[in-house]
């Protein structure tokens, strides 16, 4: 089964310019790439993906790094699933559940 | 990657590809799930109300995942395998088609011997005695001309489920239901490893189209079968013998298949071990060695 100490969540956070048509296009392309790689939006400009190990997360960093937009700021950060699980999430004052690592077995 | 196993049997769902992710929508509650295709190892479809697009099939194949199709009674009837997984494929197929009979027999001997050994270990864990299977394993000769495999099976099955009339049967509604499901997932895992090593699952070393169209998968999965047997034994000894397959039984069997096993002193998943077995077969076909790397449970 998946280990919460080995599994990592890779965060990609960005601030990209959207002042020109060209810039907006680059922004959309970058965002689409993240979705294609299986990242999900946590908040605006904050995307995350569960990776089974640090090696896998490094691989994703490398892949995205190759296709960075020409301007703007992008940050990569990986935390273990254990650390990620301690995140507190609030909608208004109401506590919501933290996202869970995917199950290896899913019976629908 | 994660090697995820997905099973669609209880709810009507529609599968499609969106942003290169498998996008699952359920009719009843409009729930939506997104799964990266690259994480998927096996998809089992056992509900007539599951719809999927062509893009789903081609993306699954592209990422080396296997799709199992089941009929209305949840029995696996077909399998879709990736066939573009390896760049050496064509030359491997050629070599594979040309394996000489003596090598085939030597390989089959190892497979049967390890299967009977693993059956012995499983039996020991289940009922505390191997019923002479360990000794029987030493009697397997090249090509197994005395059919030790069948002799072992006779002792094994009657001892395993404490019932001298127990028979392996695709259609029986007893422990066989669970075994059939477990073997289908196991066959998919092994077939996937075979394709990933650039071998063709239809060119077997012993089986000739016995029911399934993937004789090589049937050959190599033999020593893995006791993993499923033990999971089924665990289930029926704690619960009851089920008359139909439900989520509970499936969950039990799959979670057992997803656990770690000791292989040559290391903790490995079945996916890893199956890949190693397939790769060792490649080495044997290329004449590097005659020894297969088989699982020892």
Tens digit of each residue's pLDDT (9 = 90 or more) over A21-73? 999 999 999 999 999 998 999 999 999 999 988 999 999 999 999 999 999 99
CB contact under 8 A, B259 and A1: yes
Q: Is residue B125 part of a domain?
A: yes
Of B39, B60, B80, the residue that ends a domain is B80
Q: Is residue B136 part of a domain?
A: yes
**pTM: predicted TM-score of the whole model, two decimal places:** 0.78
Q: Is residue B292 part of a domain?
A: no
- On whether both B92 and B170 belong to a single domain, the answer is yes
CB contact under 8 A, B2 and A52: yes
- On whether both B122 and B62 belong to a single domain, the answer is no
A-interface mutation test, from B2, B5, B38, most A Cβ less than 10 A away:
B2
Query: Known binder of ligand: residue B63?
Result: no
CB contact under 8 A, A35 and B24: no
- On whether both B36 and B165 belong to a single domain, the answer is no
Of B44, B62, B80, the residue that ends a domain is B80
Query: Known binder of ligand: residue B222?
Result: yes
CB contact under 8 A, A105 and B247: no
- On whether both B109 and B65 belong to a single domain, the answer is no
Spatial separation of the C-alpha atoms in residues B191 and B200, rounded to whole Å: 9
- Taking CA–CA distances from B9, the nearest residue in chain A reads A108
Chain A residues closer than 8 Å to B13 by CB: 108
We report the CATH number of the domain holding residue B112 as: 1.20.120.920
- Pairing outcome for strands A73-80 and B40-45: unpaired
* Count of domains observed in chain B: 2
Of B25, B49, B80, the residue that ends a domain is B80
A58 is written with which tokens? 């490094």
Per-residue pLDDT tens digits of chain B, which is 297 residues long: 677 888 887 788 899 998 888 999 988 877 888 888 888 888 888 888 889 999 999 998 888 888 888 777 666 777 787 877 566 677 788 888 888 888 999 999 999 999 999 999 999 988 888 888 888 888 888 888 888 888 889 889 888 887 777 878 777 778 888 898 899 889 888 888 887 777 888 888 887 655 567 889 889 999 999 999 999 998 888 877 777 778 888 888 888 988 888 888 888 888 889 888 988 998 898 888 888 999 988
Q: Is residue B295 part of a domain?
A: no
- On whether both B129 and B221 belong to a single domain, the answer is yes
Nearest to A7 by CA among A71, A99, A74: A99
- On whether both B110 and B8 belong to a single domain, the answer is no
Q: Is residue B32 part of a domain?
A: yes
- On whether both B74 and B163 belong to a single domain, the answer is no
Position B209 scores a pLDDT of 59
User: Do residues B292 and B277 make contact, with C-beta atoms less than 8 angstroms apart?
Assistant: yes
- Taking CA–CA distances from B258, the nearest residue in chain A reads A1
Query: Known binder of ligand: residue B296?
Result: no
Q: Which domain holds residue B71?
A: 4-80
């Amino acid at each position: 089964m998946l280990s919460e100490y080995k599994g990592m969540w890779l965060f990609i956070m960005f601030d990209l310019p959207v002042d020109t048509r060209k810039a907006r296009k680059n922004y959309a392309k970058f965002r689409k790439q993240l979705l294609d790689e299986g990242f999900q939006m946590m908040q605006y400009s904050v995307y995350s993906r569960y990776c089974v190990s640090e090696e896998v997360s490094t691989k994703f960093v490398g892949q995205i790094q190759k296709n960075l937009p020409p301007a703007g700021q992008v940050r990569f950060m990986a935390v273990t699933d254990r650390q990620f699980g301690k995140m507190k999430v609030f909608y208004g004052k109401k506590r919501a559940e933290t996202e869970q690592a995917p199950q290896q077995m899913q019976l629908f | 990657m994660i090697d995820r196993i997905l099973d669609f049997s209880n709810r009507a769902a529609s599968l499609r590809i969106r942003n290169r992710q498998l996008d699952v929508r359920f009719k009843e509650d409009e729930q939506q799930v997104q799964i990266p295709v690259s994480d998927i190892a096996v998809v089992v479809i056992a509900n007539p109300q599951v719809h999927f697009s062509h893009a789903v099939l081609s993306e699954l194949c592209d990422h080396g995942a296997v799709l199992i199709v089941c009929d209305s009674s949840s029995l696996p009837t077909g399998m879709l395998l990736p066939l573009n997984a390896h760049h050496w494929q064509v030359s491997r197929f050629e070599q594979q088609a040309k394996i000489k009979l003596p090598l085939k027999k030597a390989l089959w001997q190892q497979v049967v011997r390890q299967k009977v050994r693993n059956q012995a270990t499983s039996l020991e864990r289940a009922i505390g005695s191997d019923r002479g299977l360990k000794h029987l394993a030493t009697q397997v000769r090249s090509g197994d001309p005395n059919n030790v495999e069948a002799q072992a099976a006779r002792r094994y099955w009657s001892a395993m489920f404490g019932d001298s009339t127990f028979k392996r049967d695709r259609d029986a509604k007893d422990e066989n239901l669970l075994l059939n499901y477990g073997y289908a997932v196991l066959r998919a895992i092994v077939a996937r490893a075979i394709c990933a090593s650039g071998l063709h699952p239809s060119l077997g070393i012993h089986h000739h189209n016995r029911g399934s169209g993937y004789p090589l998968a049937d050959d190599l999965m033999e020593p893995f079968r006791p993993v499923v047997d033990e999971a089924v034994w665990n289930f029926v000894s704690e619960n009851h013998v089920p008359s139909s397959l439900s989520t509970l039984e499936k969950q039990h069997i799959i979670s057992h298949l997803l656990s770690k096993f000791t292989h040559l002193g290391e903790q490995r998943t079945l996916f890893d071990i199956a890949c190693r077995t397939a790769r060792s077969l490649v080495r044997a076909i290329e004449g590097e060695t005659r020894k297969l790397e088989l699982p020892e449970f």
